[in-house]
Amino acid sequence: MMARDLLVDKKGNYVGDNRGIFAKVVTSDNDTQAPFSFIREHNQLIGTSVDNVAKHLPDNGHVMKCDNNALFKIRQDDKSYSGVNLLSNLRIKCLVSEIKEVVDHYEYETMGLGDDVARSVCLQQLEAIVPHQCGDHSK
């Protein structure tokens, strides 16, 4: 509905170049269904001239905040994770920082999204973060 409202009036007529808004970048948190639906609706309204123009850009900052909050919730819900050498504030900050670094590298410094080799390397690095924080350097 929002995608339509940016381009057409209540009667379904194009609102004009001075009022119509084409979303070239659609940002969201972990949700991908809504942004892709939004982009698809814009493409249907405008036509083939905008095929492959609009992109979905995940809100990595929001995702990292959710990671951070999830780790604090684990510690709150299960006191066995509390303590100096467990999920301390500093350790949570380190974990979230390392996750962000790996994801940023995958997204911006390698072939990135869609590249199977880069994705595999990213997943291997993510898999190694928690064991590494626990002193296990085997990965």
pLDDT (tens, 9 = 90+) of the chain, 139 residues, equals 877 788 888 888 888 778 877 777 777 776 667 888 888 887 877 777 777 777 777 777 777 888 899 999 999 999 888 877 788 888 999 999 999 899 888 877 766 667 788 888 899 999 999 888 877 888 7
Segments making up each domain of the chain, as ranges = 2-58, 60-133
> What's phi and psi for 14, nearest 5 deg?
-60, 135
pLDDT computed for residue 110 by the predictor: 66
Tokens of 88: 């301390």
3-state secondary structure 76-106: HHCHHHCCCCCCCHHHHHHHHHHHHHHHHHH
Task: Give the relative orientation of helices 116-133 and 89-104 as an angle to the nearest 10 degrees.
Answer: 170
pTM above 0.85, yes or no: no
